[in-house]
Amino acid sequence: MKNTPATDLAPVAKRPTPSGGFQAWLPRLVLAPSVAISLFFVYGFMLWTFVLSLTSSRMLPSYDFVGFGQYARLMQNERWWVASTNLMIFGVLFVVICLAIGALLAILLDQKIRQEGALRTIYLYPMALSFIVTGVVWKWLLNPQLGIQAMVQSWGFESFRFDWITDPDMAIYTLVIAAVWQASGFVMALFLAGLRGIDDSIIKAAQLDGASLPRIYLRVVMPCLRPVVFSAVMILAHIAIKSFDLVVALTGGGPGYATDLPATFMYAHAFTRAQIGLGSASAMLMLGGVLAILIPYLYSELRSRKHG
Amino acid sequence: MANVIRRQTPAARLSRGLLYGVLILAALFYILPLVVMLMTSVKPLSEISAGSLLSLPQNPTLAPWTKAWGEACTGMRCDGVGGYFWNSFAIVIPAVLISTTIGALNGYALTKWRFKGSELVFALMLFGCFIPFQVVLLPMAQTLGWLGISSSRAGLILVHVVFGIAFTTLFFRNFYVGIPNELVSAAKLDGAGFFRIFWRILLPVSAPIIVVSVIWQFTQIWNDFLFGVAFSAHNTQPVTVALNNLVNTSTGVREYNVDMAAAMIAALPTLVVYVLAGKYFVRGLTAGSVKG
């Protein structure tokens, strides 16, 4: 019998081939709950949300199918377009500025700096905070009456204005500031790890050729860091699409719905505005957005695994 | 090497100074919000409206902290964030322990007991790291209702375990791939079983990755807001939700010092973890994103 029950194993002290029988199934048995969880809670739920997005559900899920009607409504929903446009602005600025600051700080820190450890710790600590804490702090700093604006005005610059958080056209940029504050140190850490992994002899060779330091970084070092840039972009874009807590804490989506993002749009419609069908459709579009950046990433990861 | 005298030209000294200048400016950008938060949290309200962000507290007081902890209003109730702080611990500790244990066993099974399709199983689970959670919120709410644990701590623990094991499995799998197979094969030949090999050979060398996994899960779950706000009731809220409610409760005078004290309270556990084990924190963040 191949499938020996577990109790039979006990008296046999040293079986010659324990890899057969029950032991061979044990790893699969151990993995089974996780696979089941993943199939149900990840794949099943995605499918379930998709099904809900095809229904007219409002307060409670109902299974009255209306085809792609909710998606059509979404496309005509002005607030959804504001949220999507905001995600574009926020996402692009957040990723680009984080990359620029992260790369700059990593390169500067790589110049045999005293106290490098302390500086690194300071640059990175915001990443340990909750986005809610970040939002609460920056809301305070950006408060026109008591925050940075008031402080600079009290220094004598009476005409200084920094009231973006109350300005519907500028509020989206306050999200960028707070998110960059939180995540750019992390990008610095990624780049620094990448820089430390580069073979010194390449840089030495370029120096012997008479290349200047900025030129070496631009032409020799940066191309070596392409995988790091790629990973950083993936991770940052992912953070941007999922951004929910920061908006809730910093602007509450306002003024009006000027700083809505798809994540807050989805939550508002599914949980507070009794628009489950519409909320589900917006969640599916968010998933589509993540897949659009994820699939090229996984593809290149798998390819480099096979080659390396 | 030893007797090279470092003589710097003025230009070199200038660029060195510039370098440190930029680095220190950057450090100020990151540290000042924390400094302002801390200083504001110990100022009386009168000093806040009279002074500016960076003015040092004249009469430091812990009253805002005690108020934030035990009396401030978070929505309908006015009993501070203290209770929610312990709520967060009651959710985080079991969720971290369970998800790390499952991740360790998964990673072990996936690397040391490979079978046909084990790579596919891994890829299948890995996808859970990447989905936007909005796509699971509504079905999760309904499922928690069916299980009879909606708005309970048990429900939140379940949610965090379910969506945490993708990460913990990734950590342990990538770590165990690097552990040589020879010892495991020898133990198998000696007749040692699945759990015995794990206990005797893998677990003793797993300390670093256990720390990475625990820290990652701790910060993720402690800092979570989305699941907390969607799946909790007023008495089971985690501290992030309570903090947000406290800041947005609009009754009476805005007490910014209490807001900042509450934010500090919510931030402290993860900050302490970061200060004590920053190296492992970074390793968790960069796991899989920088290939060695």
Out of A28, A186, A245, the one facing B226 most closely (by C-beta) is: A245
CB contact under 8 A, A27 and B244: no
Beta-bridge mates of residue B74: B77
Q: Which residue of A has its CA nearest to B191?
A: A14
Task: Note the pTM of the prediction, 2 decimals.
Answer: 0.87
* pLDDT for residue B60: 86
The answer to whether A67 and A53 have CB atoms below 8 angstroms apart is no
> What ipTM, to 2 d.p.?
0.88
Confidence band (pLDDT; 50, 70, 90) for B107? very high
The answer to whether B96 and B217 have CB atoms below 8 angstroms apart is yes
Greater confidence (A33 vs A304) lies with A33
Q: Which tokens go with A171? A: 């509020």
Instruction: Report the pLDDT averaged over residues B232-238.
Output: 89
* pLDDT for residue A96: 96
What is the Cα–Cα distance from A20 to B191, expressed in whole angstroms?
Answer: 11
Q: What are phi and psi of B116, to 5 degrees?
A: -60, 120
Instruction: Report the pLDDT averaged over residues A143-150.
Output: 85
State which of A61-75, A176-190, B114-128, B175-189 shows the largest mean pLDDT.
A176-190
CB contact under 8 A, B247 and A249: yes
CB contact under 8 A, A129 and B166: no
What is the Cα–Cα distance from A263 to A244, expressed in whole angstroms?
Answer: 5
* pLDDT for residue A308: 43
State which of A174-178, A219-223, A290-294 shows the largest mean pLDDT.
A174-178
* Range of weakest confidence among A194-203, B145-154, B174-183: A194-203
Judged by CB atoms within 8 Å, which residues 65-84 of A form the interface with B? none
Name which of B201, B94, B140, B225 is nearest A45 in CA terms: B140
* pLDDT for residue B7: 60
Q: Which residue of B has its CA nearest to A116?
A: B23
Average pLDDT of the residues of chain A: 85
* Range of weakest confidence among A19-23, A172-176, B205-209: A19-23
Q: Which residues of A touch B271 (CB under 8 A)?
A: 125, 128-129
Confidence band (pLDDT; 50, 70, 90) for B110? very high
Tell me the CATH class for B82-286.
mainly alpha
SS3 A65: strand
What is the Cα–Cα distance from A38 to A70, expressed in whole angstroms?
Answer: 27
Q: What are phi and psi of B256, to 5 degrees?
A: -65, -35
Q: Which residues of A touch B121 (CB under 8 A)?
A: 31, 35
Confidence band (pLDDT; 50, 70, 90) for A154? confident
* pLDDT for residue A197: 81
Q: How far is CA A223 from CA A79, A104, A106, A210, in A?
A: 41, 15, 15, 19
Q: Which residues of B touch A27 (CB under 8 A)?
A: 109, 113, 115, 118, 194
How many other C-beta atoms lie within 10 A of the C-beta of residue A153? 16
What is the Cα–Cα distance from A53 to A67, expressed in whole angstroms?
Answer: 9
Average pLDDT of the residues of chain B: 87
* pLDDT for residue A3: 44
Instruction: Report the pLDDT averaged over residues A246-253.
Output: 90
* pLDDT for residue B1: 41
| Domain range summary for chain A, segments of one domain joined by + | 6-53, 78-307
Name which of A176, A299, A301, A288 is nearest A240 in CA terms: A176
Confidence band (pLDDT; 50, 70, 90) for A20? low
The answer to whether B138 and B230 have CB atoms below 8 angstroms apart is no
Name which of B48, B123, B89 is nearest B236 in CA terms: B89
Judged by CB atoms within 8 Å, which residues 27-46 of A form the interface with B? 27-28, 30-31, 33-35, 37-39, 41-42, 44-46
* pLDDT for residue A31: 92
The H-or-E segment that residue B177 falls in is: helix B153-177
Beta-bridge mates of residue A65: A55
Q: Which residues of A touch B129 (CB under 8 A)?
A: none
Q: Tell me which of A38, A54, A229 to substitute to probe the interface with B (most B C-beta atoms closer than 10 Å).
A: A38
Tell me how many degrees the CA angle B86-B92-B95 measures, rounded to the nearest 5: 145
Tell me how many degrees the CA angle A249-B85-A263 measures, rounded to the nearest 5: 30
Enter the DSSP assignment of A197. T
CB contact under 8 A, A151 and B192: no
**Does residue A2 have a pLDDT over 50?**
no
* pLDDT for residue A220: 82
Looking at the complex, report in whole angstroms how far the Cα of residue B191 sits from the nearest Cα belonging to chain A: 5
* Range of weakest confidence among A203-217, B104-118, B157-171: A203-217
* Range of weakest confidence among A282-286, B6-10, B120-124: B6-10
Instruction: Report the pLDDT averaged over residues B255-270.
Output: 92
* pLDDT for residue A151: 86
| Domain range summary for chain B, segments of one domain joined by + | 10-61, 82-286
Q: Which tokens go with A159? A: 């005409």
Domain A78-307 has CATH 3.30.1390.10: no
Instruction: Report the pLDDT averaged over residues A12-18.
Output: 45
What is the Cα–Cα distance from B264 to B247, expressed in whole angstroms?
Answer: 13
Q: Which residue of A has its CA nearest to B215?
A: A128
Name which of A187, A127, A107, A112 is nearest B278 in CA terms: A127
Share of chain A above pLDDT 90, in %: 39
What is the Cα–Cα distance from A46 to B138, expressed in whole angstroms?
Answer: 10
Amino acid at site B152: S
Instruction: Report the pLDDT averaged over residues A86-99.
Output: 95
**Does residue B6 have a pLDDT over 70?**
no
